[in-house]
Structure 1
């Protein structure tokens, strides 16, 4: 599964390059760090974009004055099949019995409800809340899209999803990747950063 994240990161890197967004480096960067909790080394891949004034309004839409993530009240206006596909690829968790969980740990109950309402309005999907206990004993709310609802929107999601991430929606399409320009740090990859705006 960790290898799949590498494929997806390479996919995102290609999109950013094709769109001409300025990057801080011409290649994906690898780094290794020691996790003091378990005294093990974790390797990561990441890339960063340079600050760009033209996309600042987009960042402002999703960040408050202190730089904390927020859900805009008009999120439904921005939620399309393509943006939902990327939301699932980035923050979705496969549920093997069907459906998908969206990790919304950074948001409060009101914001989670705004997201649920947008999903209902735009895609007519049925959602419930799954609660997750964090390491600091905090309780986080995650959105679960049930199997029937996910099955109903899969045809609109699949064209926008990278093959390596189709497992998140339990889609059994065989994944084959051209790795000629692929950057990998083997199966030791534990996480990655996508953008720094």
Structure 2
């Protein structure tokens, strides 16, 4: 669970990931061949549905999975990452049960094969026991590219305006951290919405108000896949 990982960092923030808010962690500022745009893309996806893991030989890999109705988006990600020079698996399909909603989903999947180039991102998003966490300094990494990809993954259309980020896999403390980062970085007005799953669990989601979301849209529209522009109340161009 993410709660333990987050609490461990909070209790030790004098010595762990306590970076300058203006500069960000050195491991993502220097070294490695990933360009800034690709790093931002990966960070946005990791805030959403992607997962990162370490291997025993000190490498890291990232997996991407969506339902098949988002196949165009996944294939576009695969193409972008392949053109960036990353080693990728082939795209695969399989059926997975979603316990949150008591349903079976046919998924499309691929991964970035293990490489030391991803270690700096793994250090950011993984605890020492390999559990995915929200970094305390996430505000430093919420670039327009990262925001666009996060909304592709987790954004949910709100008919009356605004948008909901379906942060179902995050603990309450992590959602509060993300809200603080969104407010500080972009001046977004956010509230927590509670969603009860069919399994009886309560999930915490972030609602971004219509007025402040309208200010964000021009910054991120170029980084949202055409199939997801409806989440911005826009049509494909």
Q: CA deviation at 1:159?
A: 1.3
Q: For residues 78 and 140 of structure 1, do their structure 2 counterparts lie closer, same or farther at Cα, with a shift above 3 Å needed?
A: same
Q: For residues 44 and 4 of structure 1, do their structure 2 counterparts lie closer, same or farther at Cα, with a shift above 3 Å needed?
A: closer
Match in the other structure for 2:146: 83
How many residues of Structure 1 are paired with residues of Structure 2 in the alignment? 168
Contact 1:133 1:139 in 2 (8 A): yes
- SS of the equivalent of 1:106 reads coil
Deviations 1:91-137 (A, max 9, x none): 11111211111111222222111100110111111001110112332
Q: CA deviation at 1:4?
A: 5.3
Match in the other structure for 1:137: 200
Match in the other structure for 1:24: 89
Contact 2:190 2:208 in 1 (8 A): yes
Deviations 1:59-107 (A, max 9, x none): 2211222322211110011111111111000111111211111111222
- Following the alignment from structure 1 to structure 2, what is the Cα–Cα distance between the partners of residues 72 and 105? 17
- SS of the equivalent of 2:123 reads helix
Q: CA deviation at 1:5?
A: 0.9
Q: TM-score, normalised by structure 1?
A: 0.77
Contact 1:104 1:143 in 2 (8 A): yes
1:124 is aligned, of 179, 182, 187, to 187
Q: TM-score, normalised by structure 2?
A: 0.65
Deviates more, 1:42-51 or 1:89-98: 42-51
2:175 is aligned, of 88, 112, 116, to 112
CA-atom RMSD, angstroms? 2.2
Match in the other structure for 1:94: 157
Q: For residues 110 and 81 of structure 1, do their structure 2 counterparts lie closer, same or farther at Cα, with a shift above 3 Å needed?
A: same
Contact 2:98 2:105 in 1 (8 A): no
Q: Is 1:10 the counterpart of 2:91 in the alignment? A: no
Contact 1:131 1:139 in 2 (8 A): yes
Deviates more, 1:134-143 or 1:162-171: 134-143
Q: For residues 117 and 133 of structure 1, do their structure 2 counterparts lie closer, same or farther at Cα, with a shift above 3 Å needed?
A: same
Contact 1:4 1:165 in 2 (8 A): no
Q: For residues 72 and 50 of structure 1, do their structure 2 counterparts lie closer, same or farther at Cα, with a shift above 3 Å needed?
A: same
- Following the alignment from structure 1 to structure 2, what is the Cα–Cα distance between the partners of residues 62 and 34? 24
The unaligned stretches of length 5 or more in structure 2 are 1-66
